A and B are shown apart, each in its own frame.
Chain A
């Protein structure tokens, strides 16, 4: 981080696209139902990333986060993402 840079924190959620089989989500759903923990119709398992960026401004940080999401954190064939800025 240089003097004229600020720190921005983001959370990124990655989830499988509709139509992609999610055997982990299915196994979790079965466990919920077998153990009578609730009446859950569907479970999808995804990933959560916390990114701490050092950028000259928010716009630049968002641009970088978007590129990281599209380029590395997700595979667009099977996954989609959303990100949001967090204070802590």
Chain B
């Protein structure tokens, strides 16, 4: 665990920006955390080709730092949505989704108020053409453009997703799709 006030990363294979809330979600979700001292080191890690996963608030932080394209805005129904969510694996050629078949439906919980993915103009076409859409919602719960639940960077080494894979790692929790994701990471190292 690395504190946000740190300025350097130790030698790591993967950086995970977990979900939760940062700075009370003031201004915009993830906006103030994106300016935390540690984020300069995370940006450098991205620039040298490091692997990064951002989950929920971590995804919001990655878009606010412009490491990932787009923005996360309030759900169209203005409600906090907390439920198991069916997702479609739109790109299984990433280090986080390689254990799944293309277009497979998986179930991973969501828990967010600001999960509506937004990007428009030529940038959304570019994201699609670069196979940057990794996960899509089945029955879009929050109004995300093109049903987007998770995206990756051009180099495919940074992934951001609103659903919580760490909450789907045991049969007792209702799904092990999240476990399959973390197993994908291990099998790619």
- Which residues from chain A sit less than 8 Å from chain B, CB to CB? 19-21, 23-24, 27, 72-73, 75, 77-78
Contact = CB atoms under 8 A, between A and B. Distances in A.
Interface size of B as a range: 20 to 34
B92 to A, nearest CB: 27
Interface of B: 27-28, 31-32, 35, 63-64, 69-71, 73-78, 116, 118-120, 143
B78 A24 contact: yes
B73 A21 contact: yes
A27 B118 CA distance: 20
Contact of A24 (B28, B74, B116): B74
Contact of B76 (A21, A73, A75): A21
A78 B71 contact: yes
Residues of A contacting B: mostly: loop
Contacts of A73: 27
B71 A72 contact: no
A78 B123 CA distance: 13
A78 B74 contact: no
Given A27-B78, A77-B71, A78-B71, A72 B116 contact: no
A21 B116 contact: yes
Nearest to A17: B120
A23 B74 contact: yes
Contacts of B119: 77
Given A19-B120, A20-B118, A21-B116, A75 B77 contact: no
B120 A21 contact: no
A24 B73 CA distance: 11
Closest 7 CB pairs between A and B? A77-B71, A78-B71, A23-B78, A75-B71, A23-B76, A19-B120, A75-B28
Contacts of A19: 120
Contacts of A20: 73, 118
A49 B32 CA distance: 15
14 contacts: A20-B73, A21-B73, A21-B76, A21-B116, A23-B76, A24-B74, A24-B78, A27-B78, A72-B27, A75-B28, A75-B63, A77-B69, A77-B119, A78-B118
